[in-house]
């Protein structure tokens, strides 16, 4: 038996040690890919996922507060290209390279090829979404957004602004109604986003006809924002629809003390020292003000009836001082203000006849104010009803 050659043993040991070190470095690099991509690359330069992760970090940090296409993508392009060369199926690398590409056709080709390789990566799908919006492929854009947000609902804030131009266009409601069926968390999140966007309000009303929000607060916000944007006709039609659903307090003639959907129901003040609230049986409005306090206690919008009409107030207030300290005013509502009357209960009496109004006065705003003067007793009064009749 020949003794082993010392040189061969030494070489074998060196090769084995080198392989062990290499494998250890590769393993450590892979383990650190997400948490420390720069360290992972120093341990294993061929780590494509680490290159991709580093490119993503550069993209996000550079694009923060700016347009990612203009700033983030170009800065991360070299890292993304390195990631692509090491790992050709890197979805984030494809997305960044597409965003950095100035040639629209080349960009579209990159996105199409990458989308065929990976349909689950949310950043890549976001680039697909941008391309679909740019190409006016609206059904495709909605379907892409649904695919992204069902997996990553947390990405809603960054993707909704891209979707908004799609939603506000004419004819978009039917497409959205097919997707927004309440089966995903992002659907309600989109409603809450759109209701804060003035351009989206009218289409949101149309969508509401097809898709129930199942959220009274959202309906209240939509109604309020329509009025704020002076879309009074659309707001009133929506309010009537809520009435058909049994949710609003619309009632011709006598104005019940319902507060569910202001401003077409009552908006009442409730703060320390000044308050208005319906009585327990909602038959009266209870008004209270502490000495030194005063201001608007109740207000609501009313669809203007044909003139002439009579405005009436029913109450059992005996105190002359209280009658003088409660004011009732009626204005033409909306952007063009016109005062119809502004009087305290002592001067107004039980009825006030309105003989004619400007043609633009489609809606009126009724305001009740109350005050309690310093050095006098607190104000406590009840108004039974206010009403309008021809």
Read off the pLDDT of residues 290-305 as tens digits, 9 standing for 90 and up: 999 999 999 999 999 9
Percent of the chain with pLDDT over 90: 39
pLDDT at 160: 87
Is pLDDT of 387 > 60? yes
d(CA 208, CA 216): 12
Q: Which residue has the higher pLDDT, 182 or 282?
A: 282
Query: Starting at the edge strand that comes first in sequence, how are the strands of the sheet with 274-278 ordered?
Result: 270-271, 274-278, 285-289, 379-389, 309-315, 351-354
Query: Where does residue 328 rank: exposed (0-12), middle (13-18), buried (19+ CB within 10 A)?
Result: buried
Contact (Cβ atoms closer than 8 angstroms) between residue 242 and residue 219: yes
pLDDT at 58: 60
What mean pLDDT comes out for the span 305-328?
A: 92
- Residue 41 tokens read as 């690359």
d(CA 298, CA 276): 7
Range in 20-34, 158-172, 223-237 the model is least confident about: 20-34
Is pLDDT of 363 > 80? yes
Contact (Cβ atoms closer than 8 angstroms) between residue 215 and residue 182: no
pLDDT at 380: 95
Q: Which residue has the higher pLDDT, 84 or 292?
A: 292
Q: Which residue has the higher pLDDT, 203 or 282?
A: 203
pTM of the entire predicted model: 0.71
What angle (nearest 5°) sits at the alpha carbon of residue 200, between those of residues 199 and 204? Answer: 150
- Residue 373 tokens read as 């003067």
Q: Which residue has the higher pLDDT, 137 or 268?
A: 268
- Residue 208 tokens read as 């509401």
pLDDT at 122: 60
Query: Most confidently modeled of 57-71, 76-90, 189-203?
Result: 189-203
pLDDT at 123: 60
The pLDDT confidence band at residue 107, using thresholds 50, 70 and 90, is low
pLDDT at 29: 41
């Amino acid at each position: 038996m020949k003794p082993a050659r010392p040189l061969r043993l030494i070489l074998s040991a060196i090769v084995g040690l080198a392989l062990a070190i290499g494998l250890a470095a590769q393993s450590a690099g892979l383990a650190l890919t997400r948490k420390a991509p720069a360290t992972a690359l120093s341990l294993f330069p061929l780590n494509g996922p680490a290159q991709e992760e580093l490119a993503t970090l550069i993209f996000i940090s550079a694009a923060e507060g700016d347009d990612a296409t203009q700033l983030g993508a170009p800065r991360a392009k070299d890292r993304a290209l390195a990631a692509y060369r090491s790992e050709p199926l890197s979805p984030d690398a494809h997305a960044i390279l597409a965003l950095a590409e100035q040639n629209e056709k080349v960009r579209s080709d990159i996105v199409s090829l990458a989308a065929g390789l990976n349909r689950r990566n949310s950043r890549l799908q976001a680039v697909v979404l941008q391309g679909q919006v740019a190409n006016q492929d609206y059904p495709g854009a909605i379907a892409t957004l649904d695919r992204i947000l069902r997996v990553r609902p947390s990405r809603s804030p960054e993707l909704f602004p891209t979707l908004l131009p799609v939603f506000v266009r004419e004819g978009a409601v039917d497409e959205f109604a097919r997707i927004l069926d309440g089966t995903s968390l992002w659907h309600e999140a989109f409603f809450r986003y759109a209701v804060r966007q003035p351009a989206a309000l009218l289409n949101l009303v149309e969508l509401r006809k097809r898709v129930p929000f199942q959220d009274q607060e959202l309906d209240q916000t939509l109604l309020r924002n329509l009025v704020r944007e002076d879309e009074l006709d659309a707001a009133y039609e929506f309010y009537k629809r809520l009435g058909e659903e049994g949710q609003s307090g619309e009632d011709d003639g006598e104005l019940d003390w319902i507060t569910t959907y202001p401003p077409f129901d009552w908006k009442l003040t409730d703060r320390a020292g000044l308050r208005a609230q319906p009585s327990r049986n909602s038959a009266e409005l209870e008004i209270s003000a502490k000495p030194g306090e005063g201001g608007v206690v109740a207000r609501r919008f009313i669809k203007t009836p044909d003139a002439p009409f009579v405005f009436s107030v029913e109450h059992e207030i005996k105190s002359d001082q209280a009658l003088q300290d409660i004011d009732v005013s009626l204005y033409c509502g909306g952007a063009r203000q016109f005062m119809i009357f502004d009087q305290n209960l002592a001067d107004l009496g039980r009825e006030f006849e309105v003989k004619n109004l400007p043609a633009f006065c489609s809606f009126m705003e009724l305001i009740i104010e109350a005050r309690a003067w310093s050095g006098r007793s607190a104000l406590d009064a009840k108004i039974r009803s206010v009403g309008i009749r021809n």
